[in-house]
Amino acid sequence: MSEDTESSDGFGLPPGLEEIEQIARAAFEALPEAFRAAAARVALRVEDLAPEPVLRDLQIRDPYELTGLYDGIPLTEKSVMDQPSGPDTIWLFRLAILDEWIARGDVGLEDLVAHVAVHELAHHFGWSDDDIAVIDRWWE
């Protein structure tokens, strides 16, 4: 966190939307070139929480249960015939990520943000949650 978020009582303020985005972008920059190039073509958006229509579509009642979301057509399903309605987008939900970070207490915020962002990028590559779980034991 930047020094300008330090409060007078010695506790820092939680990172804002821009700081979460910077952490995610740094994680993408650290990827191998083939993945980094693909990540650069995906929009990255950070909001405090997922909007109600998204939660309703996913049948999620508690907005703090959704830390990230890939919105787009995975590369494995894209066709030259597709008419995109917008850019493929990775959404990160700041308050849900912060809630997860505090609840876990055993991982750095940068690591958690990077993990969520890369997990959503894996969906862009066409990986399912089950596919990701085979190689990523993060949540165990």
In a domain, 81, yes or no: no
What's the pLDDT at 4? 46
What's the pLDDT at 1? 45
Structural domain total, the chain: 1
Q: What is the rounded CA–CA span in Å between residue 27 and residue 103?
A: 22
Amino acid at 19: E
In a domain, 101, yes or no: yes
What's the pLDDT at 140? 53
Task: Name which residue leads in pLDDT, 123 or 75.
Answer: 123
In a domain, 9, yes or no: no
In a domain, 4, yes or no: no
Reference 74, options 131, 126, 117; nearest CA is 126
In a domain, 78, yes or no: no
What SS3 class is residue 135?
helix
In a domain, 3, yes or no: no
- Whether 64 and 95 have beta carbons less than 8 Å apart is answered as yes
Q: Is the per-residue pLDDT at 3 higher than 80?
A: no
- Whether 92 and 49 have beta carbons less than 8 Å apart is answered as no
- CATH number of the domain within which 107 lies: 3.30.2010.20
Domain that holds residue 95: 14-73+86-135
Distance in Å from the first CA to the final CA of the chain: 27
> For the whole model, what pTM was predicted?
0.83
Q: What stretches of 69-108 show up as alpha helix (H) in DSSP? A: 94-104
Digit-coded pLDDT (tens) for 101-119:
999 999 999 999 999 999 9
pLDDT grade, residue 127 (50/70/90)? Answer: confident
Digit-coded pLDDT (tens) for 29-80:
998 888 888 889 899 999 999 999 999 999 999 999 999 999 998 888 877 7
Cα 127 to Cα 73, 74, 77, distances in angstroms: 12, 8, 11
In a domain, 140, yes or no: no
